[in-house]
Amino acid sequence: MHARLFNKDEELGKRDDDFKPKRSPTASALMKPWQWRKRRLFTIAAAVLMLYVFVHNLPNDLGPVDERAGRALRPGHTVIAPDIQTSQQEPRGPPPGYSGGQDGEAVRHNYDGPIKFYKLATSLHGISRTMGSRPQNRNVLFAVSSLRSAANLMPMACEMAKWDRNYVHMAFLGRDPLPLDDILEVNGVSKKDCAVYLHDARGDYSEYSSEQRAEISVAGAMKHINDFMHPQAMIMDDSMAEDTFFTRAMRGKARELGRALIEVPSGRYEEFFWMTRLDSGSLSNWFEPVIDVLIHAPTDSSGGLMRLVRSLQSADYAGLKVPRLTIELPTHIERFAQRFLQELEWPPISDPSPVKQSTLTLRHRIPSSRLSSEQASVRLLESFYPVVTEHNHVLVLSPQAELSPQYLQYLHYVVLEYKYSTYPSPSSEELLGVSLDIPSTFLNGSGSFVPPVTAEMQARQYLDKAEYDQAVATPFLYQAPSATASLIFGNKWVTLHNFLSNRLAASHAGKAEKTTKLVSETEPAWLEYLLELMKARGWSMLHPGTSFVTIHDELSQIPEEFTREKSTGKKDAAILEQPEHAEEEAFLTASDPPDIVSHVERQPRDTQPLHEFLPFRGDLPELTQLPYMYNTGDLINATRAAELKDDYITLFRHQIGGCDHPQAARKRVVHELDTNDLFCLPGVEIQFDLEAADEEAIALAVIQETSGPAGHDDGEEEEVTAVEEEVQGSAVARAGG
Ligand SMILES: *[C@@H]1O[C@H](CO)[C@@H](O)[C@H](O)[C@H]1NC(C)=O
Ligand SMILES: *[C@@H]1O[C@H](CO)[C@@H](O)[C@H](O)[C@H]1NC(C)=O
């Protein structure tokens, strides 16, 4: 019966063979005492020999302890390789040959004998049957050594188990001999309320272990644990709070296994509770997202810039990677601002090391003339490009913003949940990024914007009046760009670069019509291009229910690309300053300058931990369950959003992309990071979507077509791949004529 179970379960088949106990329990029980003793004698003799060689070599090599430990941990040194024991009783009291540590004296850590795990096998065998050990699974491991760390992490592990997204394990790897049940009791945890799988991974005589033996014991136990459960992520207490040998062994093992080892910063256990709502996929990618901060400082914004940078400096970065900071400076910088930047320490962490690396970049603008909206857009977009498209994201900040200290924790949480979860929602690819702000106006800068509330959620479970206050603001998706405080994902930024290349080519080729600006002129010009792309791709931005920024209005100003000069002729009329290149203004602007509407002050709440003030007890709803707001401010459903997107694509191709009517309406193949499907430009390949095609039709339909009247002249040819027969006919006819 068991054998069949094992055969059926391929997960078990993948278990590493070398984990199997060297001797099966029955074999060792049948072994004659003298045989057993001979083995043990041999092992001890070998260990003593090893130890002798090791100690003997010490004077020649007084290198760092790390190095020595690393050497001893190498696989060649099998003599003291930790072994799992299943059948024997663990010996009590001090190990044989233990010297010192009389009654009343502190236990001496000097035992260096072989390591055996007597208590680990039972719990490990228990888990492998229930949850398997595929390399990709739902196991998350909390690893602790000191009893204090156990107390620190226990509530977190229990909480994670309660959310039931992961199989939560907790392994005890330290020196303390306190039995597991007592540890639980001391911490007030009962197995009934806390569905964590506990593993006692302490070796024999752990109390008497030397540092070296303790470290090897941790590494050895972790090997067995990994063989059995392949934890997707390992969570430990702050390395400053944990035992040194444990930290060293865990770090080495995590590197070797290629697993994320998350250190919860000391004293921040409650603040990091949001972590318990993440699944193993998100946790295993803990270190992947890299956030860069980009601040664009217009002329005369030094006061705001300094306030913003100060809020960045005093934000909470414990346990997270401090973002790189790039500041785009205007031509003229005030002296006090210059001094402030010179003295700015970034990253803002008291790192005593003299080789501390600054990650602050300043960019200074040379021309003092006014930029066209095209130049302004290009300048901003060019100031960042992701190294790794999937993982590098940019947080664009305006000097009007002042950040909440929890901004990075929130971004980290949301990005890990929506981008890295094991089961991402299909609409996560349509997420442009994460805004920290709640808008006060519609895109056109007018009207009072009312953020959606719980009653407008798109999932029935949230409409339960008894459970959730229906009038509370919720997070929502909004198909509108914002430059106030928005994180934009790397792959979306790359696509925007590509889009702008095509878009500018279309403008300069005279193919694009000048369209009316939809985004208020109080916003930077690049947002108009981003809005076009968002509409064509169906992207939206996630806004929080509670704001993570305060927007200060007193310094708000119209971006220079839209500033106007008072005309001397007419009374009170203002005209837009004429840029040197009219073709670089792709949009029609309003005849009057825009009004600056003051931003509704939404004071960020930051006295509570994140999981307490986020709605729905800190659980992030699925993206499809959130209210979805179209760029006009209407709440719509997914069906309607898809229709609007298709209509817009057709309109865009015709109005801006340079496509004629039949071309504009046909479905095209969409490639990631690329926007060629929105344009019919010379040199741009046109690939129609070949959904219902059979192989033969495709082969027949591969034909060449010139790109219409303009493309014909410069001899540029485009490849057209088509399937449907009537299109084939028309394409051939056009190519012939
Ligand atoms: C601005 O947009 C809102 C929402 O789409 C609309 O109700 C309002 O009429 C617009 N205002 C102007 C001046 O166009
Ligand atoms: C989506 O909204 C439209 C109106 O905007 C409505 O006609 C349609 O029935 C809705 N679809 C679903 C699935 O609710």
Same domain, 603 and 721: no
For the segment 510-520, what is each residue's pLDDT rounded down to a tens digit?
888 888 889 98
Return the pLDDT at 85. Answer: 65
Residue 635 CA to ligand 2 center (angstroms) comes to 11
Using CA positions, which residue lies closest to atom 6 of ligand 2? 640
Return the pLDDT at 6. Answer: 33
CA separation for the pair 481, 490 (Å, rounded): 15
Residue 518 CA to ligand 1 center (angstroms) comes to 10
**Block residue for tokens 């442009």:** 432
595 lines ligand 1 (CB under 6 A): no
User: Do the Cβ atoms of 636 and 622 come closer than 8 Å?
Assistant: no
Model confidence band, residue 602 (pLDDT cutoffs 50, 70, 90): low
**510 domain-assigned:** yes
632 lines ligand 1 (CB under 6 A): yes
Same domain, 606 and 694: no
Residue 636 CA to ligand 2 center (angstroms) comes to 8
Using CA positions, which residue lies closest to atom 14 of ligand 2? 637
Return the pLDDT at 570. Answer: 47
Q: Which ligand is nearest to the CA of 628?
A: 2
Q: Which of 39-43, 477-481, 658-662 has the highest mean pLDDT?
A: 477-481
Q: Which ligand is nearest to the CA of 516?
A: 1
Model confidence band, residue 20 (pLDDT cutoffs 50, 70, 90): very low
* Residue type, position 713, single letter: D
**Residue of 443, 446, 635 to test ligand 1 pocket, by largest number of atoms within 8 Å of CB:** 446
Model confidence band, residue 582 (pLDDT cutoffs 50, 70, 90): low
pLDDT exceeds 90 at position 638: yes
**725 domain-assigned:** yes
Model confidence band, residue 2 (pLDDT cutoffs 50, 70, 90): very low
Return the pLDDT at 236. Answer: 96
**Residue of 444, 517, 535, 595 to test ligand 1 pocket, by largest number of atoms within 8 Å of CB:** 444
For the segment 313-325, what is each residue's pLDDT rounded down to a tens digit?
999 998 899 999 9
Using CA positions, which residue lies closest to atom 7 of ligand 2? 640
What are residue 354's DSSP bridge partners?
Answer: none
17 CB neighbour count, 10 Å cutoff: 6
Q: Which ligand is nearest to the CA of 641?
A: 2
Residue 599 CA to ligand 2 center (angstroms) comes to 33
447 lines ligand 1 (CB under 6 A): yes
User: Do the Cβ atoms of 395 and 294 come closer than 8 Å?
Assistant: yes
445 lines ligand 1 (CB under 6 A): no
**Residue of 629, 636, 640, 643 to test ligand 2 pocket, by largest number of atoms within 8 Å of CB:** 640
Same domain, 599 and 707: no
Residue 453 CA to ligand 1 center (angstroms) comes to 21
In sequence order, the 6+-apart residues with CB closer than 8 A to the CB of 422 are: 136, 138, 279, 280, 281, 282
Same domain, 275 and 226: yes
Output 732 or 229, whichever has higher pLDDT. 229
Residue 441 CA to ligand 1 center (angstroms) comes to 9
Return the pLDDT at 90. Answer: 77
Residue 447 CA to ligand 1 center (angstroms) comes to 6
Output 137 or 76, whichever has higher pLDDT. 137
How many domains does the structure of the chain reveal?
Answer: 3
CA separation for the pair 326, 258 (Å, rounded): 31
Output 340 or 369, whichever has higher pLDDT. 340
Residue 593 CA to ligand 1 center (angstroms) comes to 16
**33 domain-assigned:** no
**577 domain-assigned:** no
- pTM over 0.75? The answer is yes
The 3 state secondary structure assigned to 678-722 is: HCCCCCCCEEECCCCCCHHHHHHHEEEEECHHHHHHCCCEEEEEC
Output 547 or 81, whichever has higher pLDDT. 547
Write the CATH number for 419.
Answer: 3.90.550.10
Return the pLDDT at 55. Answer: 41
Q: How far is CA 468 from CA 183, 450, 457, 473, 626, in A?
A: 37, 19, 11, 11, 14
Same domain, 308 and 184: no
Residue 419 CA to ligand 2 center (angstroms) comes to 28
Residue 381 CA to ligand 1 center (angstroms) comes to 28
592 lines ligand 1 (CB under 6 A): no
Q: How far is CA 124 from CA 6, 19, 115, 170, 442, in A?
A: 15, 11, 18, 11, 57
pLDDT exceeds 70 at position 22: no
The ligand 1 atom nearest the CA atom of 631? 5
**25 domain-assigned:** no
pLDDT exceeds 70 at position 709: no
Using CA positions, which residue lies closest to atom 11 of ligand 1? 446
Residue 638 CA to ligand 2 center (angstroms) comes to 8
pLDDT > 90 fraction of the chain, expressed in percent and rounded = 51
Averaged pLDDT, 103-124:
82
Return the pLDDT at 730. Answer: 34
Using CA positions, which residue lies closest to atom 13 of ligand 2? 639
Same domain, 451 and 413: yes
For the segment 244-271, what is each residue's pLDDT rounded down to a tens digit?
999 999 999 999 999 999 999 999 999 9
Q: Which domain holds residue 531?
A: 295-349+357-566+582-629
Residue 619 CA to ligand 2 center (angstroms) comes to 27
Residue 641 CA to ligand 2 center (angstroms) comes to 10
User: Do the Cβ atoms of 458 and 641 come closer than 8 Å?
Assistant: no
Model confidence band, residue 81 (pLDDT cutoffs 50, 70, 90): very low
Structure tokens at 427: 């609409």
CA separation for the pair 497, 520 (Å, rounded): 22
Averaged pLDDT, 175-185:
92
Using CA positions, which residue lies closest to atom 4 of ligand 2? 640
446 lines ligand 1 (CB under 6 A): yes
Residue 446 CA to ligand 1 center (angstroms) comes to 6
Q: Which ligand is nearest to the CA of 634?
A: 1
CA separation for the pair 670, 651 (Å, rounded): 17
Same domain, 267 and 307: no
Same domain, 433 and 542: yes
**78 domain-assigned:** no
Mean pLDDT of all residues in the chain?
Answer: 80
Averaged pLDDT, 96-121:
77
In sequence order, the 6+-apart residues with CB closer than 8 A to the CB of 82 are: 114, 115, 116, 117, 203, 216, 217, 220, 221, 223, 224
Averaged pLDDT, 127-146:
81
Return the pLDDT at 30. Answer: 38
Q: Which residues line ligand 2 (CB under 6 A)?
A: 636-637, 639-640
598 lines ligand 1 (CB under 6 A): no
Same domain, 280 and 311: no
The ligand 1 atom nearest the CA atom of 632? 5
* Residue type, position 701, single letter: A
**24 domain-assigned:** no
Averaged pLDDT, 634-644:
95
Return the pLDDT at 61. Answer: 32
Same domain, 309 and 446: yes
pLDDT exceeds 70 at position 100: no
Q: How far is CA 61 from CA 54, 58, 229, in A?
A: 10, 5, 38
**Residue of 458, 628, 637 to test ligand 2 pocket, by largest number of atoms within 8 Å of CB:** 637
Using CA positions, which residue lies closest to atom 3 of ligand 2? 640
Model confidence band, residue 574 (pLDDT cutoffs 50, 70, 90): low
In sequence order, the 6+-apart residues with CB closer than 8 A to the CB of 688 are: 666, 667, 668, 669, 720, 721, 722, 723, 727
Residue 519 CA to ligand 2 center (angstroms) comes to 27
Asked if omega into 347 is within 30° of 0 (cis), the reply is: yes
CA separation for the pair 394, 295 (Å, rounded): 10
Same domain, 624 and 715: no
Return the pLDDT at 97. Answer: 73
Output 156 or 15, whichever has higher pLDDT. 156
Return the pLDDT at 588. Answer: 75
| Strand boundaries in 599-641, DSSP class E | 628-629
Output 6 or 593, whichever has higher pLDDT. 593
Write the CATH number for 215.
Answer: 3.40.50.2000
Structure tokens at 458: 């798109």
Using CA positions, which residue lies closest to atom 5 of ligand 1? 632
Task: Assign residue 153 a region (left: φ > 0; alpha: ψ between -120 and 50; beta: otherwise).
Answer: alpha
Return the pLDDT at 653. Answer: 95
The ligand 2 atom nearest the CA atom of 638? 1
Averaged pLDDT, 135-160:
94
**66 domain-assigned:** no
Same domain, 473 and 607: yes
Residue 244 CA to ligand 1 center (angstroms) comes to 62
Model confidence band, residue 539 (pLDDT cutoffs 50, 70, 90): very high
Structure tokens at 714: 């410069």
pLDDT exceeds 50 at position 56: no
Residue 525 CA to ligand 1 center (angstroms) comes to 19
